Structure 1
Amino acid sequence: MPIDNSIVHQIHKKPDGQPASLTLRDAELANSEALEQLLAGLIEAYNSKPNKAWGYFHEESGAYPFSGWLQQLIDQDIDFVGFTSKASEQLKTLMEGSNLALGGHVLFIRYRQGMTAFLVVALLHHTEGVTVTEQLDVASARHLDLSSLNMAARINLTEWKQNATSKNYISFIRGRSGKRVSDYFRDFIGCVEGSNPEEETNTLLQAFSDYVGEASMEPELVKDKAKAMTGYVNSQTRAGEQVGLEELSGVIDEEQPRAFYDYIRNKDYGLNPEIPADKRTLSNFMRFYGKADGLSISFESHLLGERVEYNESDDALVIKHPPKGLVQQLRNKKR
């Protein structure tokens, strides 16, 4: 992933209502192996976060100046240092209005992945660890804690400039403690939340269920198509990419690559050609799970009607060929 520009500034703030301060770097970071490793680790951590929201820019205004500064950067009316300095000042101001906000290092990286340009903005914190030195001593070691990343956004610059109707060219992480914690960061980027990944994924899964149901497909064929679908969607979410419905259609049926895509369009499910996916919703689609009164049951959906049967009149679940380990425990209990 070639890096075009990168810089780090620092906001000093504790979640105690005290004023924040800002330390600005006056030059871009030099490209290095360490910087490339940081970007790779940051993108991996970002893509793994399940609690992301998607959207697009507010119309530029005094309350939402970020997109205007970014446009100036693209038009070369302002350099990268100037753009990030203005943005960091704005972030500091918004942080002061949130008692829950905690300062940190603000990282800006503009990079390319294939033909697509991105800007990632992340608030990073350090954590204390230990290391073994060259002298074989054990010593404290401070390092960036990417595993606890919870304030970051990524903007698809190419889609923003080339697709005027897109509602999903910005993604950002929701705070772990709930939406309210990340509101100031969303407002800093100036993002209007567009698609809801959970709702979009549920609609996609409903469309798939309707599609295979109307086609009266054999259970084994449905299973194969479901696996193909989930494999593709999971690979997209791991890469931090949206799900392309036309591409997905080709994955589901190579012989009729547009069949599922045309079905969605003709039935008017209200899905855009590309949608963000929710990994948790997809996982639940592939499994049945229930827990109550000391009983916990979980099984893959394709087993229903094969090794697992539900009798609605008796409200009974029959499990055929249960796991050998469970069977042995039950036999031991009888002795």
Structure 2
Amino acid sequence: MAIKQLRTLFASQYQPGQPAHVRPGPALQEPGGDYEALHKQMKRLFNSKPGKKYGRFSEDLGECPFSAWLKDYQEEKQTFAALTDRLFGQWQELLNGCQEEFDGHLMIVHEALADAEVIYLLIIENDSAMRFDSQQALDATDVLSLSRLNLAVRIELDDWLGDNAGDNYLTLVHGRGTGEPGELFIKLCGFTNQVDVEKETVTFLDAVEAFAKTSAPEEAGAVRNRAYEFCKEQHALGEPVEIEALSGYLDENQPERFKEFAAQTAELPESGVLHPDHRKVKKLVRIAGSGGGMSVSFSSDLVNQAIYYDRDSDALTITRLPKALREQLQRYLEERE
């Protein structure tokens, strides 16, 4: 990982209706060290965040001019400092009209990867911490939160401006509870949603399940597990699922088999890329349910091996109980007796 450019701005709006207070930092070229470590942690939070949205820049440049400024920067028509001056100015203007309190650091990072370049916009929040000062008096101070990330966007520059430009080059983190500042951040980025994640999750699950059923019963579970593992790895990297890559992962001997099967049985996007919700993809390998004071979850591989379901009596029989569960049950019964 190498940061080409980085700049931060602290902004606060404590009195809705009054101008927001801002403190911009200098534009840093290849800041290295501590900044790299901070960005690495923010990326880790970004990649692990569930419920991300995927889309593109709004075409309304009057309302959302960031994409035009960014393009000028990429074409070297303006410097990084000039780009961020404009971006920070718009963020302050948006916060001026905000009716909710806000404070946080807006950080923009231009990162060069081995095979691509990306831009991150992140809102870094503060945590309150206690310390003893030089006189051993207790003092409250603010520190950067390294465990929360509720507003951020990643821009895949090559997918946006490259020869094979795609439609979903923006990845957005928009956490619950961000309120009006969250909506203003989306406006600042110029994000417009193009991907129905719920629909693509269903498409992914249906395609894998149907493909698994074409295999022998003893191999179907392995197909589901490999599909889930692939999806989980992509989520950890912050990447969507490419059908062609998944196809090769599911069957190394016949790498095109799943791809051809899915093309015939599912409505795949032209890009051949899906953005499934990794939390729901877990249904491929786990069966779970709760209600009526009971919560049950187990690997689907255990059905008809250690767990048996009788449809007629609607009864579930569990054998080979986990040791911890067995001990709890025995202890509970002994206490009752």
Q: Call closer, same or farther: CA 1:226–1:132 in 2, change over 3 Å.
A: farther
Determine the structure 2 residue equivalent to 1:227: 225
CA distance in 1, matches of 2:77, 2:139: 47
Determine the structure 2 residue equivalent to 1:62: 62
Determine the structure 2 residue equivalent to 1:240: 238
Determine the structure 1 residue equivalent to 2:297: 298
Determine the structure 2 residue equivalent to 1:120: 120
CA distance in 2, matches of 1:228, 1:265: 19
Determine the structure 2 residue equivalent to 1:37: 37
CA distance in 2, matches of 1:287, 1:100: 42
CA distance in 2, matches of 1:137, 1:233: 51
**What is the CA distance between 1:169 and its match in structure 2?**
0.8
**What is the CA distance between 1:22 and its match in structure 2?**
2.8
Determine the structure 1 residue equivalent to 2:110: 110
TM-score for both structures, normalised by structure 2: 0.89
Residues 110 and 118 in structure 1, CA contact (< 8 A), matched pair in contact too: yes
Q: Identify unmatched segments of 5+ residues in structure 2.
A: none
SS of 2:40 mapped into structure 1? helix
**What is the CA distance between 1:287 and its match in structure 2?**
1.6
Residues 6 and 109 in structure 2, CA contact (< 8 A), matched pair in contact too: yes
Residues 54 and 170 in structure 2, CA contact (< 8 A), matched pair in contact too: yes
Residues 15 and 102 in structure 1, CA contact (< 8 A), matched pair in contact too: no
CA distance in 2, matches of 1:15, 1:282: 44
CA distance in 1, matches of 2:141, 2:285: 43
CA distance in 1, matches of 2:101, 2:275: 27
- Tell me the C-alpha RMSD between the 2 structures: 2.7
Residues 56 and 168 in structure 2, CA contact (< 8 A), matched pair in contact too: yes
Determine the structure 2 residue equivalent to 1:71: 71
**What is the CA distance between 1:217 and its match in structure 2?**
2.1
Residues 60 and 66 in structure 1, CA contact (< 8 A), matched pair in contact too: no
> Within 5 A, what are the aligned runs for 1:134-149?
142-149=142-149
Q: Call closer, same or farther: CA 1:204–1:15 in 2, change over 3 Å.
A: farther
CA distance in 2, matches of 1:51, 1:156: 19
SS of 1:255 mapped into structure 2? coil
CA distance in 2, matches of 1:74, 1:153: 18
Residues 132 and 138 in structure 1, CA contact (< 8 A), matched pair in contact too: yes
Once the two structures are superposed, residues 199-236 of structure 1 have per-residue CA deviations (whole angstroms, 9 ceiling, x without a partner) of 312210110001121x1422x31222222211121111
**What is the CA distance between 1:29 and its match in structure 2?**
5.2
User: Does residue 316 of structure 1 match 2:318?
Assistant: no
CA distance in 1, matches of 2:8, 2:69: 17
Deviating beyond 6 angstroms after TM superposition, the runs of 4 or more aligned structure 1 residues are: 131-134, 136-141
Determine the structure 1 residue equivalent to 2:190: 190
CA distance in 1, matches of 2:329, 2:124: 51
Q: Which moved more, 1:18-27 or 1:79-88?
A: 18-27
> Within 5 A, what are the aligned runs for 1:1-335?
1-14=1-14, 16-28=16-28, 31-100=31-100, 102-129=102-129, 142-162=142-162, 166-177=166-177, 182-213=182-213, 215-218=214-217, 220-271=218-269, 272-331=271-330, 333=333
SS of 2:147 mapped into structure 1? helix
Work out the percentage of aligned pairs sharing the same amino acid.
Answer: 26
CA distance in 2, matches of 1:138, 1:32: 33
Residues 60 and 67 in structure 1, CA contact (< 8 A), matched pair in contact too: no
Q: Call closer, same or farther: CA 1:192–1:307 in 2, change over 3 Å.
A: same
SS of 2:118 mapped into structure 1? strand
Letter in 2 for 1:263: F
**What is the CA distance between 1:47 and its match in structure 2?**
1.0
Q: Call closer, same or farther: CA 1:325–1:37 in 2, change over 3 Å.
A: closer
Q: Call closer, same or farther: CA 1:330–1:128 in 2, change over 3 Å.
A: closer
Q: Identify unmatched segments of 5+ residues in structure 1.
A: none
**What is the CA distance between 1:171 and its match in structure 2?**
0.8
Q: Report the count of equivalent residues.
A: 333
CA distance in 1, matches of 2:137, 2:43: 33
Once the two structures are superposed, residues 270-325 of structure 1 have per-residue CA deviations (whole angstroms, 9 ceiling, x without a partner) of 33412223221122432222222222211112222322222222222222222244
Q: Call closer, same or farther: CA 1:82–1:178 in 2, change over 3 Å.
A: closer
TM-score for both structures, normalised by structure 1: 0.89
SS of 1:103 mapped into structure 2? strand
CA distance in 2, matches of 1:5, 1:229: 37
**What is the CA distance between 1:167 and its match in structure 2?**
2.5
CA distance in 1, matches of 2:133, 2:247: 54
Residues 98 and 180 in structure 2, CA contact (< 8 A), matched pair in contact too: no
